[in-house]
Amino acid sequence: MRKYSLDYYLVPSEDAHNGEYIADSDQRRRFISGFTGSAGIAIITLHSAFLSTDSRFWIQAREELDHNWIVVKSSYDWTGFLVDHITGGPKGTRIGVDGRLVTYSNVTYIQSKITNHKSELVFLDENLVDVIWKDRPSEPREPLFVHDLVYAGEPASSKLRRLRERVREDMTDSSNTATIITHLPSIAWLLNLRGSGIPYNPLFHAYLYISLDKHNEETILFLDSSQAPPDIQTYLTNLHVERMGYDEIWNFLSSKTDKTIIITPKTSYAISSQIPQEKCIVLPSFAEELLSRKNSMEVDSLRKAYLKDGIAFTQFLAWLDSKLVSENEDVTEFEAAERLTEFRKTQGKGTYRDQKEPISASGPNAALPHYVAKRDTARVIDRNLPYLNDSGGQYLEGTCDTTRTVHLGTPDQAMSEAYTRVLQGHIAISTAIFPIGTSGDQLDALARRPLWKNGLDYGHGTGHGFGTFLTVHEGIQSFSSNVPLAPGHVLTVEPGCYKEGKWGVRIESALVVTKANIPGIDQENWLQFERLTVVPIHTRMVKWSMLTRAEKVWLEEHNQKCYEALAPHLKNDKQTLRWLRREVGVSDVD
């Protein structure tokens, strides 16, 4: 920092593609700080160090960081803290950062706020963490594989064509124009390619350049040669996609100064700075818009993925029940997580991996919505408290995300009431019927209403999109977004209730938006949800007297349907089948 006369150096947690789950070689923020959470930025001065992160990680950050670090409790967006901190201090500060690791929108915002203060962002060619990181892991460069058409449902050529048409729709003149895609799930989706080497997500490091000129439709994939063995090279050639080296993107862009280039607000600042300002157009991501709407084969694949995951989840819950209750053995949160992964591997037949670190939490740990059990600090699962498991497998058919909360002893009134209100919110979203044009954020309050009635709430979103063998957080639709919901949009619904320091409950299932199929309702103008998740909802914490008749019928029908879907696959697993029968039979705590 002194060599470059820096007062600050920023170490963001993202990679050059603004990814949430990143390769080990990109874990710079973890290396410099020791904090392992998946969000948060290190802000280092010559005399002190700050770690700014959002509420999901405050407790974890305090536990993992040593006395050199000050935890800054901020929101997901750290730019506000940085700007306040800089403008509250002496003028003329120099803030170093690797321009590849910060987004165009974050940089332009910060610059607009600190320029008057005579302070500046300084973009260095070398990354200062990499300079001191002696045993930095090498970058993942495993060969790619084609994501089969039976899962994808649309050839890459058709996706590229639709993308070009979609962009041209929004441009008065698309001649001499191109777009550069840096978002890894978008590249993988567009080309029907997948990779390995990045934990949890089948992604690969690449950039994709797509020209929009009708007479010169160039498509160039910037990808390391080691990732394109002959079969992949042939696949790309047949698609009319040219390949250049991953690092050639920089020289390539600076040689295209005559072209107008479309980027998104989340494109890295380094990429945007290769494009002359008057030639750079910033628009929301068209690729993410397209990949958000699943085609009928993708939805079909997702149904299969959720059935597989449902079998594994059910086997896991039955195993847990038998260990804790019948055998009266202690199980830690960590052991439970490992066991679940084993059940999933059987379903995934070699392709399996978790879509994220599974959340397996008992008692107070479940009150931390993003708690991840570690081998040496995991709690023994407490029979007197709810046990929450939020996890999902990656299958070739799709990416799963499910949460169930169970109680293996006798729940108290407060737990049962909270659980029942969460369930009512879950049902309210699942059964919603809404006119075309309705956005997720307009439905959000349905999930919270039963909790609000009692002065309760949860501090996270109600649900997000997810991928088809891609990432677990995806797309432009969610219950916090103002994007109108449309058939093919997939969303999780996951209301929760957390008593800090004591326990937490959450019920999460996956849904797909379909046309309303209800007698008397105009199909063309009304929408509803179909459920993908096939895991029974635990009833021991249900206070039946709080449910309406319709809610009771819904719950019983849901569990009955899960039973019918799962039972044929559990013929050889008597223990799970017995548990499932018991679980879906009606029980009552009142």
Ligand X SMILES: *[C@@H]1O[C@H](CO)[C@@H](O)[C@H](O)[C@H]1NC(C)=O
Q: How many C-beta neighbours within 10 Å does residue 297 have?
A: 15
Q: Give the C-alpha separation, 106 to 94, whole Å.
A: 17
Does 186 contact ligand X by CB under 6 A? Answer: no
Q: How far is the CB of 15 from ligand X (least distance, A)?
A: 13
* Residue whose C-alpha is closest to residue 207's, from 271, 275, 113: 271
Q: Which residue is nearest to ligand X (CB)?
A: 340
Residue (25 or 264) nearer to ligand X, CB: 264
Residue (194 or 404) nearer to ligand X, CB: 404
| 3-state secondary structure at position 257 | coil
Does 583 contact ligand X by CB under 6 A? Answer: no
| 3-state secondary structure at position 97 | strand
* Amino acid occupying residue 99: G
**Among the listed residues 187, 193, 324, 340, the single contact to ligand X using CB under 6 A:** 340
Q: How far is the CB of 320 from ligand X (least distance, A)?
A: 8
Residues in binding contact with ligand X, number by CB under 6 A: 24
Helix (H) or strand (E) holding 80: helix 79-87
Maximal C-alpha separation, the chain = 73
Q: Give the C-alpha separation, 460 to 75, whole Å.
A: 12
**Among the listed residues 49, 58, 59, 109, the single contact to ligand X using CB under 6 A:** 109
What's the alpha-carbon Rg for the chain, to the nearest Å?
Answer: 25
Q: Give the C-alpha separation, 432 to 443, whole Å.
A: 8
Residue (77 or 165) nearer to ligand X, CB: 77
Residue (27 or 103) nearer to ligand X, CB: 103
> Phi and psi of 364, rounded to 5°?
-55, -35
From 31-39, 103-111, 228-236, 292-300, span contacting ligand X (CB under 6 A):
103-111
- SS3 string, 306-341, reads HHHHHHHHHHHHHHHHHHHHHCCCCCEHHHHHHHHH
**Among the listed residues 162, 279, 304, 339, the single contact to ligand X using CB under 6 A:** 339
From 58-66, 338-346, 362-370, 498-506, span contacting ligand X (CB under 6 A):
338-346
| 3-state secondary structure at position 64 | helix
Does 368 contact ligand X by CB under 6 A? Answer: no
Name the token pair of 425.
């919110």
Does 85 contact ligand X by CB under 6 A? Answer: no
Does 341 contact ligand X by CB under 6 A? Answer: yes
Does 25 contact ligand X by CB under 6 A? Answer: no
**Among the listed residues 179, 389, 394, 528, the single contact to ligand X using CB under 6 A:** 389
Does 79 contact ligand X by CB under 6 A? Answer: yes
Q: How far is the CB of 506 from ligand X (least distance, A)?
A: 13
Q: DSSP secondary structure string, 159-200?
A: HHHHHHHHHHHT-S--TTEEEEE--HHHHHHHHTEE--SSTT
> Phi and psi of 546, rounded to 5°?
-80, -20
Q: How far is the CB of 473 from ligand X (least distance, A)?
A: 12
Q: Give the C-alpha separation, 166 to 162, whole Å.
A: 6
From 50-58, 140-148, 170-178, 336-344, span contacting ligand X (CB under 6 A):
336-344
From 93-101, 331-339, 412-420, 517-525, span contacting ligand X (CB under 6 A):
331-339
Residue listed under structure tokens 């996706």: 159
Residue (77 or 522) nearer to ligand X, CB: 77
Does 562 contact ligand X by CB under 6 A? Answer: no
From 150-158, 238-246, 335-343, 514-522, span contacting ligand X (CB under 6 A):
335-343
Q: DSSP secondary structure string, 546-564?
A: GS-HHHHHHHHHHHHHHHH
Does 77 contact ligand X by CB under 6 A? Answer: yes
From 138-146, 309-317, 480-488, 520-528, span contacting ligand X (CB under 6 A):
309-317
Instruction: Return all residues near 522 (Cβ < 8 A) that are at least 6 apart.
Output: 516
Does 439 contact ligand X by CB under 6 A? Answer: no
Q: How far is the CB of 493 from ligand X (least distance, A)?
A: 17
The 241-270 site mask, x for binding ligand X (CB under 6 A), equals: -------------------------x----
Q: How far is the CB of 331 from ligand X (least distance, A)?
A: 8
Residue (341 or 420) nearer to ligand X, CB: 341
Q: Give the C-alpha separation, 145 to 396, whole Å.
A: 12
Q: Give the C-alpha separation, 456 to 504, whole Å.
A: 12
- Work out the burial of residue 573: count CB atoms within 10 Å of its CB; fewer than 13 is exposed, 13-18 middle, 19 or more buried: middle
**Among the listed residues 21, 316, 503, 529, the single contact to ligand X using CB under 6 A:** 316
Residue (280 or 337) nearer to ligand X, CB: 337
Query: For residue 532, what is the DSSP state?
Result: -
Does 313 contact ligand X by CB under 6 A? Answer: yes
Residue (108 or 384) nearer to ligand X, CB: 108
From 50-58, 153-161, 214-222, 337-345, span contacting ligand X (CB under 6 A):
337-345
Contact (Cβ atoms closer than 8 angstroms) between residue 522 and residue 549: no
From 53-61, 98-106, 253-261, 559-567, span contacting ligand X (CB under 6 A):
98-106
Q: Give the C-alpha separation, 87 to 104, whole Å.
A: 21
Does 103 contact ligand X by CB under 6 A? Answer: yes
Q: DSSP secondary structure string, 114-127?
A: HTTTT-EEEE-SS-
Does 17 contact ligand X by CB under 6 A? Answer: no
> Phi and psi of 12, rounded to 5°?
-70, 165
Residue (239 or 380) nearer to ligand X, CB: 380
Does 336 contact ligand X by CB under 6 A? Answer: yes
Q: How many C-beta neighbours within 10 Å does residue 113 have?
A: 17
Residues of this chain that bind ligand X (CB under 6 A) = 77, 79, 103, 105-106, 109, 266, 312-313, 316, 333, 336-341, 343-344, 358, 360, 373, 389, 391
